[in-house]
Structure 1
Amino acid sequence: MFNKQHYLITVLLLLMLIVSACGNASTNQSTNTAPDATSSDDTNQSATTSPPAEENASTITYQSENGPIEIPANPTRIVALASAPNVISLGGTVVGVDEWTMGNPLFTDKLDGVTVVSEANPESIMDLNPDLIIAGAHMSNLEQLEKIAPTVVYTWGKLDYLEQQIEIGKLLNKEEEAKAWADSFKQRTEAIGKEIKANYGDNVSVSVFEVDAQNNFYVFGNNWARGTEILYQAMGLAMPEKVEQDALGPGYYTLSQEVLPEYAGDFIVLSLGLSPNNEFLNSEVWNNIPAVKNKQIIEIDTRASSYSDPITLDYLTTIFEEGFLGKKK
């Protein structure tokens, strides 16, 4: 016989079991999910407040020739009033350069959209919103430039051409890349120099002449661009006695056309492109120089040869290798 009281007790017990099971399920779900959420929040907070310095530092301290200066770790808007070609060779992002760099044919395709600026007009530099400015120690308005962005200055000639490239590498956080290029360049040019001497003798000499827009003549020492660093320092070729006497110290020496033969070496590197006529090439003085008679003249473009950065040096090394050895790259 159906016992109504027993039935009600059974139903109540079942309901209690169901409620208890639901409560345990809810408790277990809270226990399983909450720690994960907390762990994720802690991880995010840690990444935000305590980032690894070497990965996320926005600035670094650069030891400039004027003392330590705080600069962007990875500058993205560089105004290069000096050393622009060195910066470009390392892939630096320039937004402003000097007029001479802009007019250099080696950099035309690398300066699309870049503005020509001058230290004489700091406002034009400010308009570019740079995060790093590179200038020469001799330039004016340096104090105004320093108010616009961190400004690093270099004294021309204080470092040699390879040291300068490595120093720009330090500035752009690309020191190892700069060192690798310098090592490779030294090995390549030394080998070419040895081959030139093997062909023409250990004392084979070379002069570097230039004629400007006013038909003034110059001869260069061993550190005045136009490939002089390559020829005399890297390849170890000889400098004529008169060139050493008058041009080695100051870097260059102004000549008259009549005395060109006195400064001419076995080879002549002739920097052309500024003079409107180059009439001297037809003169008796020029054509009686032994190097001219022997067709040992290597012509270079002045506008493409006035720096000593990797792009320029690699370009001129190729020209010199072909000019001395007849090797085309």
Structure 2
Amino acid sequence: MLKKLLPSLFALVLVLSACGSNSNNNGSSKESEKKDESTTITYQSENGPVEVPANPKRIVVLSFSFSGNVLALGGNIVGIDAWSKANPRFEQGLKNAEVVTEDNLEKIIELEPDLIIGLSSIKDIDRLKEIAPTITYTYGKNDYLTQHIEIGKLLNKEKEATDWVNNFKKEAQAAGEEIKAKIGADATVSVIENQEKQLYVFGNNFARGTEILYQEMKLNMPEKVKQDALKPGFFAISPEVLSDYAGDYVIFSKNADGDTSFQQTETYKNIPAVKNNRVFEVDAKEFYFNDPLTLEYQLEFFKKAFLGK
């Protein structure tokens, strides 16, 4: 599923070719490597053109919105935010990354980044720019797939990012047709999450799989969710009114360290989706984001939950 694996024969040819090049012209190869490291491209950021490395080697990502995009495109992240570091889906890719914030300027300097990425709301942007080229994005200015293509442009991998987006949309939309055929065209789906003692429902663009369910699969949102959560993106509710927001199917993005006592109440147990075993629980920490790595995981989960695949 959407995993780009090179055929072994092709990979072997590349390795042998590289080895031959090194043995026949080692000095030239080293010069080329140095040249690659110093080559830059001009990235058209939302604040104007910025010169960035054509092949960044040490990237600091200060906002969790972009960590998975960078990882999906093969970027080497040396500094990362705490939320991304805690995501089990990113564990392998971030095992050597240090947790940093924009307040840790000295620590960021020690990491010797050649590129820094964050939201436009981060502090000390001018000081960060003195450390390395710093690119910021305004949250929500780009939709979730356009944002991935923008990161692709920044990392000089626009084609790879665009190809992924096109393939993902096709696969998600095809799965959506299968799901609608199985659960019925009028069936509703809601996404809820618990945070400490509060419950939330989500609109169609606040991660947690909402982009897939509502934008790509075109599944139906309960009217109360549409009324209260669609425009702001999320809406806080109490357990007592959860039944008003629960669809025929419910995706429960569950924080195990939060308050889940509401699940033991009769009010909850009497919700039709609960009684019909149509509540699909997921680990919230794995479902928070809407980057390619998370989206692929979410799509596989939905296919299994709704279709048994």
TM-score, structure 1 length as denominator? 0.81
Match of 1:197 among 173, 180, 188: 180
Cα distance between partner residues in 1 of 2:261 and 2:77: 39
What CA RMSD, in Å, does the superposition of the two structures yield over aligned residues? 1.7
Partner SS state of residue 92, structure 2: helix
1:144 and 2:127 aligned: yes
**Deviations 1:266-296 (Å, cap 9, x if unpaired)?**
1000011244451111111111111111111
Task: Tell me the amino acid that sits aligned with residue 80 of structure 2.
Answer: V
Opposite residue 137 of structure 2, the aligned amino acid is: Y
Q: Which residue of 1 aligns with 2:100?
A: 117
Q: Quick one: which of 40, 56, 60 aligns to 1:79?
A: 60
Q: Give the structure 2 partner of residue 261 of structure 1.
A: 243
Is 1:310 the counterpart of 2:292? The answer is: yes
- Alignment partners' CA distance in 1, 2:253 and 2:71: 24
SS at match of 1:110: coil
The CA distance in 1 between the partners of 2:254 and 2:201, in whole Å, is 13
The one-letter code of the counterpart of 1:67 is: G
Deviation at 1:56, TM superposition (A): 8.4
Contact 1:190–1:234 under 8 Å retained in 2: yes
- Structure 2: distance between partners of 1:324 and 1:297: 10
Q: Deviations over 1:106-134 (max 9, x none)?
A: 01111122111100121111111110000
Indicate if the aligned counterparts of 2:36 and 2:55 stay in contact, CA closer than 8 A. no
Matched, 1:235 2:188: no
Quote the Cα distance in structure 2 between the aligned partners of 1:57 and 1:233.
Answer: 41
Query: After TM superposition, where is structure 1 displaced by more than 6 Å over at least 4 residues in a row?
Result: 54-57
CA contact under 8 A between 2:195 and 2:259: conserved in structure 1?
no
Count of aligned positions: 276
Structure 2 matches for 1:313-328, cutoff 5 A?
Answer: 313-327=295-309
| 2:250 partner SS | strand
Aligned to 2:47: 66
Q: Tell me which amino acid in the other structure corresponds to 1:185.
A: F
Flag the structure with more relative contact order, 1 or 2, with Cα contacts below 8 A and sequence separation at least 6: 2
Q: Distance in 2 between matches of 1:286 and 1:99?
A: 33
Aligned AA (1:71) = V
Asked whether the equivalents of residues 132 and 151 of structure 1 are also in contact (C-alpha less than 8 Å), the reply is yes
Greater C-alpha Rg = 1
- Residue aligning to 1:43: none
Contact 2:179 2:306 in 1 (8 A): yes
* Paired amino acid for 1:243: V
Q: CA deviation at 1:256?
A: 0.6
Tell me, yes or no, if structure 1 residue 165 matches structure 2 residue 126.
no
Q: Which runs of 5+ in 1 are unaligned?
A: 1-46
> Do residues 210 (structure 1) and 193 (structure 2) align?
yes
Matched, 1:154 2:137: yes
1:99 aligns with 2:86: no
Q: 8 Å contact 1:212–1:274 — kept in the other structure?
A: no
Maintained 8 Å contact 2:189/2:249? yes
Distance apart, 1:265 and its partner CA: 0.6
Question: How far, CA to CA, are the matches of 1:319 and 1:91 in structure 2?
Answer: 24
Unaligned runs of 5+ in 2: 1-27
User: Which residue matches 2:14?
Assistant: none
- In structure 1, give the amino acid aligned to 2:221: M
> 1:31-76: CA deviations, max 9, x gaps?
xxxxxxxxxxxxxxxx9xxx9xx97871110000000000011100
In 1: Cα distance, 2:36 partner to 2:253 partner: 46
Q: Which amino acid in structure 1 is aligned with residue 60 of structure 2?
A: V
